Amino acid sequence: MLPFTRPTLDDEEFAAIKEVLQSGWLATGPKVAAFEAALADYIGGDVQLRVFNSGTSALEAVLLAYGIGPGDEVIVPAMSFVASANIIVRCGATPKFVDVDLVSRNIDATKVAAAITPNTKAIIPVHFAGRAVDMDPIYQLAKQHNLLVLEDAAQAIGTQYQGRQIGSSGNPVCFSFHPNKNMTTIEGGALAINDPILLKKIDGIRFHGIEKDEQGDIDVSAWGGKMNMPDVGAALGLVQLKKLDGFNQKRRALAQRYLQQLPTHDALVLPTDVEGHSWHMFCILLDWKKIGLNRNQALELLKQQSIAVGTHYPAIHLFSLYRQYGYKSGDFPHAERIGEQTLTLPLFPGMKEGDVDRVCSAIVSLLNQV
Q: Check whether 208 has a pLDDT greater than 80.
A: yes
Q: If DSSP codes are grouped into helix, strand and coil, which group holds residue 121?
A: strand
In the prediction, which pLDDT does 133 show? 98
Closest CA to 185 of 62, 64, 51: 51
Q: Please give the share of the chain, as a percent, with pLDDT higher than 70.
A: 100
CA dihedral over 317, 321, 327, 328, signed as positive or negative: positive
Q: Residue 244 in contact with residue 251, Cβ under 8 Å?
A: no
Render the burial of 290-309: b for 16+ CB within 10 Å, e for the rest. ebebeeeebbeebeeeebeb
Position 113 confidence tier, pLDDT thresholds 50, 70, 90: very high
Q: Give the mean model confidence (pLDDT) for residues 24-41.
A: 96
| Marked catalytic residue, from 181, 243, 250, 303 | 181
Closest CA to 153 of 127, 177, 179: 127
Give the tens place of pLDDT for each residue, 278-318.
999 999 999 999 999 999 999 999 999 999 999 999 999 99
Q: Give the mean model confidence (pLDDT) for residues 218-232.
A: 95
Q: If DSSP codes are grouped into helix, strand and coil, which group holds residue 52?
A: strand
Give all domains of the chain, ordered by start, each with its CATH number: 11-238 (3.40.640.10), 246-367 (3.90.1150.10)
In the prediction, which pLDDT does 369 show? 75
Give the tens place of pLDDT for each residue, 311-360.
999 999 999 999 999 999 999 999 999 999 999 999 999 999 999 999 99
Q: Please give the share of the chain, as a percent, with pLDDT higher than 90.
A: 97
Q: What is the DSSP letter of 81?
A: -
Catalytic annotation present for 201: no
Give the tens place of pLDDT for each residue, 150-193.
999 999 999 999 999 999 999 999 999 999 999 999 999 999 99
pTM: 0.97
In the prediction, which pLDDT does 370 show? 56
Q: Check whether 64 has a pLDDT greater than 80.
A: yes
Q: Check whether 249 has a pLDDT greater than 60.
A: yes
